[in-house]
A and B are shown apart, each in its own frame.
Chain A
């Protein structure tokens, strides 16, 4: 590239004011201090790396700009000038990058990086060409900027607008207070940077009034200060202290730097500067001390608060446990349970010991009598248990242990449990395990087993001769019809159901009694179906089946004509029937 450059141009010797040095050197140093400080604190985080990049970029820019100003060598000027706009664009892109990473708390996508990389690459491509710098103007010691400068303006405007739009959107859309503050602070910092640095850059480039640039540089320091403050404020406490120290050092250096640019002869200024430096130092030390105290106090408070919260949690958990346990004593069901069992339990115990011969040999007659008492007492215990179960079911206290299981598996167990009893009575007891597996249902296996056992047991008891049939099948629709005692809210079963049927050729049920079988405390002559004599047993079974979303009922042709007991559970069980984890 032949620009025909000359060194030592007279026109390059301009009257250089101290402000030039002051605006370039200390600001660059301060920017570097801030950048390196934050980087040193946390060299691994992306944010501090980006900040360092911005700081270094700015320092390079500052240095280059200063050299362009003071150096009379046009070749150096041309070289630096050709790169300086790129540096500035890099700083702008880095600021955008910083904002994203800081607010989103994650790295940007590869697409983004590629996009901006390409944009920058297209600019870089033309740097060594005449599109960038056309020639050197010997009259005012400046480079003449080519068409590339327009591209530069466009790109810069593009980056700035993108950044502003992003920050504004972020401020409006973010809900949490803390996040909002972050966005606001960042926006303030960025805006001050944009306007002072890039803004003056663009304006001075367009108007070629390069002096404006100087003032822009101070904006850079403010911006860096904001960035550093952001990092410090939104991170750990101990950074705050060292951040305060760094800030003080920076301020004192900035003020003190004026020494370098004030001639010794200017005594009044020297004195003023000295006083300012001293005041700044004193205030600075005091600031650092108070920040240190505040940080330590806050940390201690945080520690105490944490241990208190932990202790509180433990206490709360224990308290709820104790409350629950305490309720045991006062709960009606528990009181009733305790009191109602108090009498029959020792009776059962003593009778058992007597019958086992623990208190000596007993006669056959004594045995018979004792066994009668035992039987009656066991009935009493069953009555109490049934009453309490009803009470529990109705007040929702029964905890069902729901699991997914095949109903036919439980039927198999019930069959095996009762087959001997049926055989002993000379009854034919049939159960056919379905060939194709029925859909699994959510059930409390124990309670369903009890229900099936209950029905089959009754069937065997009330069938003097003949047979008992147990079968289970899948049907597309329910056969259930509304019974007496059903409230109007009770829904019919919809969809396919798994139906369990127990048929016997036994005593049957009178047609007029059928509706009252499952009714609580039925006064009809159905008590004998609940052999332990309560009028409750079937009611409990009904409640249990309904807790599974199912229905249960009985059918019979009449007395002496056998009976049929049915349990239906829908394949689609209601929401409250679910396996708990």
Chain B
């Protein structure tokens, strides 16, 4: 099971993504900012980092820079989820693997997009019928 850490300071967004990504078969970890994320990454051997940009303590850019500066597994995939779409270039420059606009996708679409970015096969989400 792939390990994903959701780095986000808004607890509602965290809850939503945690729910959806667990349902889709990921092992989900949460972090409230970049600093917490680094600890989680060190302790749990994370495969994917899904990070917001603007957070207290350490934001998404700092986190990306740190993860790519050596001392961390270079195979970790970093995807920035943020509505600051002008920052796409900066994110890629710093070493992120992808950039998704947060409010453009439903959580289900978001999982699909993440899988797409990682080259994983798409999977039909389980939607319970009423």
Contacts and interface: CB of A to CB of B under 8 A. Distances in A.
Given A358-B19, A362-B130, A328 B10 contact: no
Contact of A348 (B17, B86, B106): B106
A397 B130 CA distance: 46
A294 to B, nearest CB: 42
A357 B128 CA distance: 5
A358 B83 contact: no
Nearest to B17: A349
A353 B125 contact: no
Interface stretch (A117-125, A334-342, A492-500): A334-342
A349 B107 contact: yes
A381 interface: yes
Interface in B71-93: 83-87, 89-90, 93
Contacts of B99: none
A129 interface: no
A1 interface: no
Contact of B128 (A346, A350, A361): A361
Contacts of B17: 349
A325 B83 contact: no
A124 to B, nearest CB: 70
A345 B61 contact: no
Interface in A304-336: 321, 324-325, 328-329, 331, 333-334
B121 to A, nearest CB: 20
A349 B81 CA distance: 13
B103 A392 contact: no
B13 interface: yes
A337 B61 contact: no
A328 B85 CA distance: 10
A19 B70 CA distance: 77
A344 interface: yes
A346 B16 contact: yes
A346 B128 CA distance: 21
A575 B62 CA distance: 38
A349 B12 contact: yes
Interface in A398-434: 399
Given A324-B90, A329-B54, A361-B128, A337 B84 contact: yes
B128 to A, nearest CB: 4
A363 interface: yes
A331 B90 CA distance: 14
Contact of A338 (B16, B54, B129, B130): B54
Nearest to A344: B103
Interface in B116-130: 125, 127-130
Nearest to B53: A328
A342 B84 contact: no
A349 B130 contact: no
Given A324-B90, A348-B103, A341 B83 contact: yes
Contacts of B61: 325, 328
Given A321-B93, A341-B103, A346 B13 contact: yes
Nearest to A346: B12
B110 to A, nearest CB: 9
B97 interface: no
Question: Do most interface residues of chain A lie in helix, strand or loop, or is the interface mixed?
Answer: helix
Contacts of B86: 328, 331, 333-334, 392, 397, 399
- Of listed A321, A349, A356, residue having the most chain B CB within 10 A: A349
Given A338-B54, A350-B16, A356 B93 contact: no
A23 to B, nearest CB: 72
Interface string A337-380: 11001101110111011001110011110010000000000000
A244 to B, nearest CB: 48
Q: Which of B12, B16, B103, B128 has the most CB of A within 10 A?
A: B103
Q: Find the residue from A356, A362, A392 having the highest chain B CB count within 10 A.
A: A356
A328 B16 CA distance: 26
A328 B90 contact: yes
Nearest to B81: A345
Nearest to A324: B90
Contacts of A348: 103, 106
B130 A328 contact: no
A380 B42 CA distance: 40
A449 to B, nearest CB: 16
A240 to B, nearest CB: 43
Given A338-B54, A338-B84, A348-B106, A353 B13 contact: no
B108 interface: yes
B102 interface: yes
A352 B109 CA distance: 10
Interface string B21-55: 00100000000000000000000000000000110
B20 interface: yes
B32 to A, nearest CB: 15
A356 B127 contact: yes
Contacts of B93: 321
Contacts of A325: 61, 87, 90, 94
A334 B128 CA distance: 38
A345 B90 contact: no
A352 B54 contact: no
B107 A352 contact: yes
Closest 4 A-B residue pairs measured CB to CB? A357-B128, A349-B16, A352-B106, A346-B12
17 contacts: A321-B94, A324-B90, A325-B87, A328-B53, A328-B61, A328-B87, A328-B90, A329-B59, A337-B83, A337-B84, A350-B12, A352-B108, A353-B19, A353-B20, A356-B108, A357-B129, A364-B130
Given A331-B86, A353-B16, A356-B128, 20 more contacts: A328-B84, A329-B54, A337-B83, A338-B54, A342-B10, A345-B83, A346-B10, A346-B12, A348-B103, A348-B106, A349-B16, A349-B106, A352-B106, A356-B108, A357-B130, A358-B23, A364-B130, A367-B130, A399-B86, A399-B89
